[in-house]
Amino acid sequence: MQLFDAIRSRRTSNGAFQPQPIAPEHIRQILELASHAPSHFNSQPWRFIVVQDQARRQQIADIAGDSMRLLMEAGTFWRRYSRYFRFSQAEVEQSADGIYLDNMPAAIKPFVRYVFSPKGGAVMNKLQVPRVLGKDAHKLVASSPLLLGITLTRAEYQEDQLSGMYSVISLGAVIQTIWLTATALGIGMQFVSTPMEVEGQWERIVELLQIPDDQALLVLFRLGYTDPKVKRPTIDWSSPQRKSVDELAFTETWGTPFTQGRDPERS
Ligand SMILES: Cc1cc2nc3c(=O)[nH]c(=O)nc-3n(C[C@H](O)[C@H](O)[C@H](O)COP(=O)(O)O)c2cc1C
């Protein structure tokens, strides 16, 4: 796959992967290419932890499933993140960002805007939405052939130091390198962030993976070969929309439109 195609086709995989393990040479290729990512002063502050053992993946899936259910039941998620949710194609087109809740059981569809709102928590709990989401999250993580954790060394990742910010920027670069390589190999990825959102849950993963105190586990992904026939999760979202360069970029000074290379057909 060409680089430009990988950049354009990289997507978060919300659905299940094919069950077979990822080929060892593909895992190594992903990690070797990841090692070429830029970092401040070439500090390479990241370390990778590859989890394939079925029992360990199951334990992490238990934590991920519980986290999703607890997070949804508490209503915290909607209060924290409702501004990112879109409920119609018109909203998607208007904002060109956020995530569109475009797949759900018919029973929820008519009330979607209300149910997925900070006030809709009780209804959502009545409709068993947290349980469904928790079950889906559990299944997705448990059935993923590989989980990948990335840590940053605490010597660099210090919140009160510039190196803290630099190491997080470096983490972004290494994640994108991994994601593009995975895409080129037909491997999908999804962040597993919900355990970070519920008190005590991320620490359970840190303990399970025996991450030492001088390392901070910052991200966890699930990976597997993408399945073209995949069924979407019961409640699902999509987010391929992007803002145009015209909206994203300025020239020389803030607010002055960047017009170079623009399609001359456009006004
Ligand atoms: C820091 C960070 C955390 C994220 N956490 C999650 C997550 O917990 N679950 C998930 O499915 N996607 C997560 N995402 C993925 C974004 O939702 C996704 O990248 C965005 O909607 C654009 O969609 P795309 O990746 O398909 O292009 C996360 C992305 C970032 C950068």
Give the closest residue (by CA) to ligand 1 atom 19: 12
pLDDT of residue 223: 98
**Atom in ligand 1 nearest the alpha carbon of residue 193:** 8
Dihedral angle, C-alpha 97, 201, 158, 38, nearest 10 °: -50
Give the closest residue (by CA) to ligand 1 atom 14: 191
Establish whether residue 176 lines the binding site of ligand 1, counting it when its CB lies within 6 angstroms of any ligand atom.
no
pLDDT in tens, 51-73: 999 999 999 999 999 999 999 88
pLDDT in tens, 204-260: 999 999 999 999 999 999 999 999 899 999 889 999 999 999 999 999 999 999 999
pLDDT of residue 267: 53
* Confidence category of residue 263, pLDDT binned at 50, 70, 90: confident
* Confidence category of residue 118, pLDDT binned at 50, 70, 90: low
pTM (2 d.p.): 0.95
Establish whether residue 239 lines the binding site of ligand 1, counting it when its CB lies within 6 angstroms of any ligand atom.
yes
The closest alpha carbon to 80, from 113, 24, 121, 111, belongs to 121
**Domains (ranges, CATH) in the chain?**
3-242 (3.40.109.10)
Q: Collapsing DSSP states into helix, strand and coil, what is residue 232?
A: coil
Q: Residue 164 pLDDT more than 60? A: yes
**Atom in ligand 1 nearest the alpha carbon of residue 11:** 26
* Confidence category of residue 124, pLDDT binned at 50, 70, 90: confident
Establish whether residue 204 lines the binding site of ligand 1, counting it when its CB lies within 6 angstroms of any ligand atom.
no
Q: Higher-confidence residue: 121 or 145?
A: 145
Tell me if 61 sits within 8 A of 136, measured CB to CB.
no
